[in-house]
Amino acid sequence: MRRAYGKRRKRGLLESPWLIPGLAAAGIVGWFGGGHAPEPSSLMSLATFTSSFSKCTVASRTCVIDGDTIKISGETIRMLDIDAPETRQARCASELERGNRATRRLAEILNSGTVTVVKRGSRDVDQYGRSLRVVMVNGRSAGDILVAEGLARKWSGQRRPWCS
């Protein structure tokens, strides 16, 4: 008789049991201001990175997939505060063009300072297994910057068309 095993979801970087010791060992904990570490409960929902972001390729582990999705150390992160135009499944030429602009601009924003990934709300992952996070750069939401520049819109809870 065959035994059935449930499929285990791959643990993301921000869910690692080594996150707190790893941040402490790397000296990143001191970044949180005043040289003191935050409470462990808030640290589990926060991770800080400095890296070089570019458009994703097959081998990329830290990169920009599109205007609202990135990878950090191989973990796919969907920015939960915005909706950006599609690039892979664009429904019209103007959506593709705007999606490409949002993708390029997001890479510029991420490369402009320290990237902080914050877990907010009760939902941890979306239907595609992507971690749902707010992505901050130098303390400001990267999503808010894209919205202010007209390259994305605030997430309303559902996708709306970009083509008129």
For the annotated catalytic residues, the residue numbers are 78, 86, 130
The helix (H) or strand (E) run that includes residue 26 is helix 19-26
> For the stretch 129-148, what's the b/e string if a residue is b when 16 or more beta carbons lie within 10 angstroms of its beta carbon?
ebbbbbbbbeeebbbebbbe
> For the stretch 109-119, what's the b/e string if a residue is b when 16 or more beta carbons lie within 10 angstroms of its beta carbon?
bbeeeebbbbb
